[in-house]
Amino acid sequence: MNRQNLLSIAGDLGQPQGHPGLVLLSSRELDKMRRAGRLAANLLNHLESMVQPGVSTQALNDEAARWMQAHGATSATLGYAPPDHPPFTGSICTSINEVVCHGIPNPKHILKDGDIINIDVTPRLDGYHGDTSKTFLVGNVSATARKLVEATQASMMRGIAEIKPGARIGDIGAAIQEYAEAKGFSVVRDMVGHGIGRQMHTELQIPHFGERGSGLKLRPGMVFTVEPMLNEGTSTLKFLADRWTVITKDKKLSAQFEHTVAVTEEGVEILTLP
């Protein structure tokens, strides 16, 4: 999510005194987040078999909407409209090749052999949100595309491995940045992970770059997304006229992976696993 938008969409969240933007979820709320997270992960798994040359992003969207309804959930993205944005028209986000994030499903967007596509899903179940994404390979992709996708997933997991009580938000971003840049890729800085729970986005921001030992200290009950976006070339972005679609300025490839995680007394729990 764009950093500036997060600041404007966060509402009155019952934040602990002295920690603006911080929401700690109860054990009951975490159980609801686990259910929503598992549902989101299962939705991605369900869509995976459809990721084939010749399939439109609209077909992926329509099947996701049908599946969510059949499982008692709704899409948090459909109709979502932060300040200065028109309502989002997709039940999922579908971002192909140079599209960094927030790609809008469209019947004219047809997957081709060699594409990569990030599918980002956020079902709302019993008032709580599960948020996860994965970049899929379409047919036979280039060695560069495969390396980018693998590095993006690995960087996310390295960031998640830093999460534990007493660690700092900067530790997450530093681990991601160190790994990504060592692999020859750039880290998108204008989009960040975010707090999540009863609202899809809360003010808490999780950059995917940074310095170890910096930022807010992590506490049990914090729930947020880790969702690095790595680019083949420059990290500079371009926003299209629809005010949603974000692409790489140099039109080179971008990949993203995302999990929703909870800080626990023991360390970290990934909530968006099947």
Binding-site positions for a divalent metal cation read 120, 131, 194, 227, 258
Contact 33, 260 (CB under 8 A): yes
Helix, strand, or coil (residue 273)? coil
Binding-site positions: 102, 120, 131, 194, 201, 227, 258
Residue type, 201: H
Would you give the end-to-end CA distance of the chain in angstroms? 24
Stated length of the chain: 274
Take residue 221 and report the two structure tokens written for it: 């009950």
Contact 30, 77 (CB under 8 A): no
Cα separation, 176 vs 62, whole angstroms: 33
CA 50 to chain centre: 20
Helix, strand, or coil (residue 29)? helix
Query: What is the Cα Rg of the chain in Å?
Result: 17
Binding-site positions for substrate: 102, 201
